[in-house]
Amino acid sequence: MTRTLEVVNPFDLNVIGSVPLKGWDEIDSYLSTATQLHKNRKGWLPAHHRIEILRKTAVLMQDRFENLAFQIANEGGKPLVDARVEVTRAIDGVGLCIKEIAGLAGKQIPMNLTQAGDGRTAFTQREPIGPVVAVSAFNHPLNLIVHQVAPAIATGCPVLVKPADDTPLSCKAFVDILYEAGLPEEWCCFVPCDIPTAEKLVTDPRVAFFSFIGSAKVGWMLKSKLAPGTRCALEHGGAASVIIDSSADIEAMIPSLVKGGFYHSGQVCVSVQRVMAPKGMADDIAQLLADAASKLCVGNAIDEQTDAGPLIRPHEVDRVSNWVAEAKQAGAKILTGGDKLGATTYAPTVLLRPPLDIKVSRQEIFGPVVCVYEHDTIDDSISQANDLPFAFQASIYSNNLDMAMKAIEQLDATAVMVNDHTAFRVDWMPFAGRKQSGYGIGGIGYTMHDMTQEKMAVIKV
């Protein structure tokens, strides 16, 4: 009997759809086909064919813009205003893949630098790495799929994609659009499945490249079990730090921090979590944040007026509630929020001076909670920011160039934003975590590079 995965709206928990789960026999067949597609070099899709498919894909996505946005909001709980931004990014991401195809070029290697190389000409070219398996997360259910699947199509790699259990409908919609745009179905397989089957797929020796977006616990576990030779990229989360210098434009900063901290109810891997303010300014900054956060409309993401939607599952609401309760008991001051608004929603919350050794200060909250701390010097702020096993994006608000450069030089982060929040991203920039926050570099062009491998020809003349 075929099992199905029911999909619910995370706000009211009403069933909005379902997808059949794939068993191992079916997935094994898909993987065998993918392997043969890669081995049959004469059957590789030419670049102009891949470009044509992706161009048609972008057009079809634009035609279905509102339907895709509503689906993101309905299954993922991201407010419509932000879901529309995600669709725009996803369409642009497909366009980026098209542009990057022309960059999949090799180069000439000089051979006559020593006598041993005389009489030879050498050059490199890039080839598709082979079957790709992509395992995705719920929080950007369309754009993350585009980041994992479209580069595989662009580089000529057959791909099997397992969406997050909570948000498979956006993934299926994208795969179906690829088929409609002309991609032969065997080149991209939609494989929702249970955890044991997914692990069996990921660790199969036929997998050439594994792309994972999700929790560090699961990602590092799967990486440890990969077959010899399988390449991978892992994108996890962190506890993003923001440093505020005394020269910062506070009025301009507050809306930015509110967006970075409460966008998608904080369910973003680089969401603003820890704000380090100068001594004597922390109370005022925290209160300004609290005042702005208290005005956010929390509700069903499919409603136009909603600013902050539900958390993805009720147990996440319970977890966030427990973490905040722990912070309050340990001495943190709750300036706004600190309450469940229902089984599926939590109030946007600002905490002032939580202790540094509790969960909200040391682990990724992944919920609508921002913590504000006070420090004597910027060196103290940088020290706290770097004192975690995670390192992803960080930021500093300052109108002092020396302070901004000091933060850029000393923060342990893959990207440091100046006068912008930590969740800023455009899809052509490198996007990656250090230490426990990830492995490899994301971003459309960087992913396409990882999904290809270099081959050199040396010709003796």
Q: Which residues are catalytic?
A: 235, 269
* Parallel/antiparallel/unpaired status of strands 393-397 and 240-244: parallel
CB 373 within 8 A of CB 340: no
What per-residue string of b and e applies to 223-245 under the rule 16 or more CB within 10 Å gives b? beebeeebbbbbbbbbbbbbbbb
Task: Compute how many other C-beta atoms are within 10 angstroms of the C-beta atom of residue 209.
Answer: 26
Expressed in percent and rounded to 5, the helix, strand and coil fractions of the chain are 40, 20, 35
Pairing type for strands 272-278 and 369-375 reads: parallel
Instruction: Give the pair of three-digit tokens for residue 448.
Output: 């396409």
Q: What is the DSSP letter of 70?
A: H
Q: 135: closest CA among 222, 69, 57? A: 222
Instruction: Calculate helix-pair angle for 168-180, 65-76, nearest 10 degrees.
Output: 160
Question: Of all helices (H) and strands (E), which one includes residue 435?
Answer: strand 434-435
Helices (DSSP H) in 238-366: which residue ranges? 250-262, 282-293, 314-329, 359-362
* Helical residues (DSSP H) of 195-249, grouped into ranges: 195-202, 216-224
Torsion angle, alpha carbons of 335, 337, 339, 342, to 10? 170
Asked if 51 and 101 count as a contact pair (C-beta separation under 8 A), the reply is: yes
Residue partners of 62: CB distance under 8 A and separation at least 6: 91
H/E stretch holding 150:
helix 143-155
Half-sphere exposure of 293 (CA within 13 A, CB side): 29
Report how far residue 209's alpha carbon sits from residue 229's, in angstroms, rounded to the nearest whole number. 9
Q: Residue 395 pairs with which residues in a beta bridge?
A: 242, 417
424, 272 Cβ separation under 8 angstroms: no
Give the separation between CA 96 and CA 24, rounded to whole angstroms: 34
First to last CA, the chain: 63
* Edge-to-edge strand ranges of the sheet holding 132-135: 188-190, 159-162, 132-135, 209-213, 231-235, 438-439
Give the number of other Cβ atoms within 10 Å of residue 427's Cβ.
18
